Amino acid sequence: MSDNYRNIGKLVAVFGLQGELVLQHRLGKKTSLRGLKTIFIEEKRDEMLPWFVESARGKSADEVYIKLEGLDSKEAARRVVQKEVWLTEKDFELFAGKSAPISMVGFRLIDGGADLGEILEVIEQPHQVLCKIDLAGKEALIPMHAATLRRVDQEKREVHVELPDGLLDVYR
């Protein structure tokens, strides 16, 4: 699923009576999603359905009002509230901020010169960011914050960290 699509957030509420929705996103910058034609919603597990965007406009730094084709009433729009929203890789590259944590998906995670693997998912929490990787066949969640993050190399697509001793032992 993550090969072709990138999760950017979720539809959190219906706004008004005409079926407009509030999309809470993690794109790392204020956006109106101007020019976006299609979003994808995972209606059932691993089944992405395209929804055509009629209009979109910025609300705040991490929210956008979005109107989807075919959802013309408050009641109709309710069926997609709390659904995760995905973009194609191409659209994601257009709208995501370069410094947004979500843009690290696909980068290699490097700890003191050792390549730990590809970042498969970024989970944003109030006080830290967690990067999910596959470490020797097991899912590992690696914390990213001021104490562990050393640098991000955009050109080489690498995230360099200095992890506390013993952190990876939990996963091995």
Quote the CA–CA distance of 7 and 152 in Å, as a whole number: 21
Residue 37 has pLDDT above 80, yes or no: yes
> Which of these CATH numbers, 2.40.30.30, 3.30.465.10, 3.30.1360.200, 2.30.30.240, describes 102-171?
2.30.30.240
Look at residue 125 and tell me whether its pLDDT is greater than 90.
no
Q: What angle do CA 86, 89, 95 make, to 5 degrees?
A: 75
pLDDT top residue among 129 and 116: 116
What are the percentages of helix, strand and coil residues in the chain, rounded to 5?
Answer: 15, 50, 40
Q: What percent of the chain has pLDDT over 70?
A: 98
Say yes or no to pLDDT of 163 above 60.
yes
- Lookup: tokens for 47: 């089944």
Are the C-beta atoms of 108 and 97 separated by less than 8 Å?
no
Taking only the tens place, the pLDDT of each residue in 76-114 is 999 999 999 999 988 988 888 777 787 888 899 999 889
- Which pLDDT value is given to residue 3? 55
> Cα 153 from chain centroid?
19
- 3-class DSSP assignment, residue 66: strand
Could you state, in order of their start, the residue ranges of all structural domains in the chain?
5-96, 102-171
What architecture is the 5-96 domain classified under in CATH? Beta Barrel (2.40)
Whether 1 has a pLDDT exceeding 50, the answer reads: no
The residue-averaged pLDDT of 51-55 equals: 96
